[in-house]
Chain A
Amino acid sequence: MYLPGTDEHRIVITGVGLTAPNGNSLSEFRVSVLAGESGVVAYETRYIKEPVLAGVCDCDVLKYQKRKDVRRGTRAGSIAVYCANEAVADSGMDWQSVSKDRVGVYLGITEHGNVETENEIYEIKQFDYDTSVWSHHHNPRTVANNPAGEVTLNMRVTGPHMTIGAACAAGNAGFIQGMQMLRLNDVDLSLAGGVSESIHTFGIFAAFASQNALAKHEDPTKACRPFDTDRNGIVVAEGGAICTLERLPDARARGARIHGEIVGYAMNSDATDFVLPNSNRQAECIRLALGRAGIGPEDIDIISTHATATEQGDIEESIALRDVFGDCPNVAVNNTKSFIGHAMGAAGALELLGNIPSFDDGIAHATINLDNVDPRCEMPQIVANQPRQLKNVRYILNNSFGMLGINSVLIVKKYEES
């Protein structure tokens, strides 16, 4: 185990692979969020009569998989394989020479298996519920480790792999797991992040609709409206974002380009409600991450909010942010879901990474569709509708919260030689 204060304890992001509804690489994604381009479209889903609204990805999964592998696996698996390979390519490392038994795959998921289970039930219904036509592929597709396991099969990784079930806090949780395993010296390289295939299950749309929490709008691009008075719910999205994480000395030794350094993290639990968030616990989680980073609220330059455009969720996060950052007028508060919807297990990872280029260009992307700020969500620091040029971006704080009261916060610092 590497102790705090050593360079080996410092974990850096050296490669990024992602697919979002508005971009299939970090550069495409960044261009889209700076240009205000949404990835939300009308989307047909089984059983629900009217098209729903969703963030849909169009990455070329056949870039890294055979058609047979796509058929045999899951959508989450294909997204994970695409993102992991893209991350390694972006890292510039010589993959052939990497010791595969020292690579770990750690992917956050909100849920997994619903898609395949729904598909099988739909299929056996055509056979009057004859269970003898239930697919033998069901179990390997629905085991909770599937997306991470598909990465190991595709890339011949023989080190550990797991998914981290953490509702919508999962993206950050994947990074945290990857970081901790590097600090423990269990692995030398972590492929970490989050993935989601949730738009391929009707159940998630139907459940949010029953909860009166599914967004509607005649213009899909305006449907996701965090902090806006007219917000009316969540836009579900698919997506994935995976990073190569390395210990700083390893990254330096191979001359890697360093996107940022993870300097703070925290996870905690509300212990108050199945679905309603708790601003007190969120504020505690943020302060815990700041403490671990050894910085104060005034040091944060950009806050990437979790806000999903639900009534209470946005209010609670606003209360937490005003509590911690009320005296920080210069921090830029933004939101990525307004562009792409809620990518569930991938959300936290995508939302962090869409902000990472700010270390280079000094721009905070906006929160779009914010026409009338809900007074209960009032924060003067919100970057509304147009990007904001900042003087210098050194710290980004990424919120990611989920059902059952799970909170995660990650703080990434611009890499500086010291």
Chain B
Amino acid sequence: MTQDEIRKVVLDILENITPDEDLSSLDDAVAFRDQMELDSMDFLDIVMELRKQYRIQIPEEDYENLISMASTVAYLTPSLKDVECPL
């Protein structure tokens, strides 16, 4: 997957987790929690969906890498670069 495709995957997960949010103007550089209602259980949903969909096991010490879209895409790129985009 390219970084754009990884971004689409993460956005797809976010849209499912936060169905009331308008994510069309999401700022990739800003923390998710600063621009949408996202609590710790929602955050774990992101981790869980990545685990289910791509079998990526994200250790707790790496959670800080999932703070924003930009950091999330950067963190996931090595794991997903050889995975075919499902979207």
Contacts and interface: CB of A to CB of B under 8 A. Distances in A.
B86 to A, nearest CB: 15
Contact of B20 (A67, A127, A133): A67
Given A132-B57, A136-B41, A137-B41, A71 B19 contact: yes
A72 B41 contact: yes
A132 B20 CA distance: 28
A140 B41 CA distance: 11
A68 interface: yes
B22 to A, nearest CB: 13
Interface in B44-73: 44-45, 48, 51-52, 57
Interface string B1-23: 00000000000000001111000
Contact of A68 (B18, B52, B57): B18
Contacts of B48: 133, 135-136
A132 B58 CA distance: 11
B34 interface: no
B82 interface: no
A125 interface: no
Nearest to B38: A68
B84 interface: no
A136 B41 CA distance: 7
Given A132-B57, A136-B44, A137-B41, A68 B20 contact: yes
A252 interface: no
Interface in A130-166: 132-133, 135-137, 140
Given A127-B52, A136-B41, A140-B41, 18 more contacts: A66-B19, A66-B20, A67-B20, A68-B17, A68-B18, A68-B19, A68-B37, A71-B17, A71-B19, A72-B41, A132-B51, A132-B57, A133-B51, A133-B52, A135-B48, A136-B44, A136-B45, A136-B48
25 contacts: A66-B19, A66-B20, A67-B19, A67-B20, A68-B17, A68-B18, A68-B19, A68-B20, A68-B37, A71-B17, A71-B19, A72-B41, A127-B52, A132-B51, A132-B57, A133-B48, A133-B51, A133-B52, A135-B48, A136-B41, A136-B44, A136-B45, A136-B48, A137-B41, A140-B41
Interface of A: 66-68, 71-72, 127, 132-133, 135-137, 140
